[in-house]
Structure 1
Amino acid sequence: MASMAVQLLGFFLGLLGFAGTVVATLLPHWRCTAYLGSNIITATAYMKGLWMECIWHSTGIYQCEMYRSLLALPRDLQAARALMVLSCVTSVLASVASVMGMKCTRFARGSLIKSPLALSGAICFLCAGLLCLVTVSWTTNDVIMDFYDPFLPSGMKYEIGLAVYLGYASACLSLTGGLVLCWSSSGDRSQSRPRMQRNQPLSPPPAFNHIYPPAPLYKPPEALKDNHAPSLCSLSSNGYRLNNYV
């Protein structure tokens, strides 16, 4: 029962990480305008994401525009797109494998593939979390390097947006869920092996006929009286003994 609760905890943590990864991928708040100088009253704010670029006006109006060309985007943005999409797909596979491998489901109940399915789902959650973590870390490094670049104008400097922080939280949730599922799956394997060994029938002892030759049959002494080899003096060509004529 405790193992089932641990599996459910790991699955829901990974599911929350998957939901956060999808939201962070779609949000345009990856890079926000940096407010530099003494003038803090601004009429507009610029935000850049993986799929669109938005402008926020002080009147509360959003204007967003999708990126029209994929090849015209910078390489770091293309790589971030690919990694986040791959993280979402891996999370979907992890969710499906975990649902089939958990004890609370009826799929393959009592089968030996139950624990490997849960373990594969846990590994997929770990991979999804690592992909998301690499993407947000890369973006954070680019934003910080551009912010402290003295040759870059202040109007082109950005700060870390809300989607990046959400990506960090989602990556941590996915990694934690994957680790919990791995721990529960390894515990199930260690408990199932002794049970299988106890339930196995005892094998019969090996047959000694294949190792040692069978013992000769017992014969009484009367049967062995005339069983000795005849001597040379008692042999004849026609099967008669010489002592019959002496």
Structure 2
Amino acid sequence: MANTAMQLVALIVCIIGMIGTLSATIMPQWSITAHIGSNVITAIVYMKGLWWTCAMFSTGVFQCETYNSVLELPTDLQAARAMMVISVALSLLSITISVVGMKCTVCARDSPIKDKIAGTGGVLFIIAGIMGLIPVAWTMNGVILNFHNPLIPGDLKFEIGIRKKASRY
């Protein structure tokens, strides 16, 4: 019984991880303009993601546009796109395989390979997680290196992640 509960918890955690990977793939907030130096007061915040670039104006208007061509993109962005999509697809496949192999399901009930099916689903989840982790770490490393590069002007530097609104107090 503890094994069944552990399998259910692991499946729920993996589904949450897949939703997080899908969200990270879609969102444009992979890098956001840094407000440093003479760029402290600005009316526009620029954001770059895997699929589009966005601008958020001080009026609250949020405007996005997709990249014009896949071939114009740098190779690291193309690879990050591919790896994130493969990670999500592999997660969906892993969910299907894992559900078949779980002890609480009736699929392949008396089959001697039921445990191996569940193990295969788990291994595929690990591979999907690594496939999602690599482009995130790779892209963030590039953002950090460019941020600390003294040859890049302050208004062209980007930071990691979602910018929080400044509090009024």
Q: TM-score, normalised by structure 1?
A: 0.64
Stretch moving more, 40-49 or 52-61: 40-49
Q: 1:25 maps to which residue?
A: 25
1:133 CA drift (Å): 1.1
Structure 2 distance, partners of 1:77, 1:117, is 34
Counterpart of 1:129 in structure 2: which amino acid?
Answer: G
> How far apart, in 1, do the equivalents of 2:151 and 2:74 lie?
20
Aligned to 2:47: 47
Q: CA deviation at 1:40?
A: 3.5
CA deviations 1:147-173 (Å, max 9, x no partner) are 0111111111100114xxxxxxxxxxx
Name the structure 2 match of 1:108: 108
Q: SS of the residue aligned with 2:88?
A: helix
Report the secondary structure of 2:46's partner residue. Answer: strand
1:59-74 equivalence runs, <5 A: 59-74=59-74
Counterpart for residue 137 of structure 1: 137
Instruction: Provide runs of 4+ in structure 1 moved above 4 Å.
Output: none
Q: Which amino acid aligns with 2:78?
A: Q
Q: How does 1:147-166 map to 2 (within 5 A)?
A: 147-162=147-162
The structural deviation recorded for 1:110 is 1.6
2:167 corresponds in structure 1 to none
Residue 37 of structure 1 and its aligned partner are, at CA, apart by: 2.1
Q: Identify if the C-alpha distance between structure 1 residues 93 and 109 changes in structure 2 by more than 3 Å, giving closer, same or farther.
A: same
Residues 39, 154 of structure 2: 8 Å contact kept: no
Q: How many residue pairs get matched?
A: 162
* Identical positions, percent: 50
CA drift of 1:15 comes to 0.5
**Could you state the TM-score of these two structures normalised by the residue count of structure 2?**
0.93
Structure 1 CA distance for aligned equivalents of residues 29 and 7 of structure 2:
33
Specify the code of the residue in structure 2 equivalent to 1:56.
M
Matched to 1:55, the amino acid is A
Residue 39 of structure 1 and its aligned partner are, at CA, apart by 6.0
**1:76-225 aligned within 5 A:** 76-162=76-162
Pick the structure with more strand per residue: 2
Quote the offset at 1:11 in angstroms: 0.5
Unmatched 5+ stretches in structure 2:
163-169
Alpha-carbon distance in structure 2 between the residues aligned to 1:93 and 1:22 = 14
- Paired with 1:76 and 1:82, the residues of 2 have a C-alpha distance of 10
Structure 2 letter corresponding to 1:18: M
Q: Which has the larger radius of gyration?
A: 1
Question: Are 1:37 and 2:16 counterparts?
Answer: no
- Paired with 2:41 and 2:112, the residues of 1 have a C-alpha distance of 64
Specify the code of the residue in structure 1 equivalent to 2:44: T
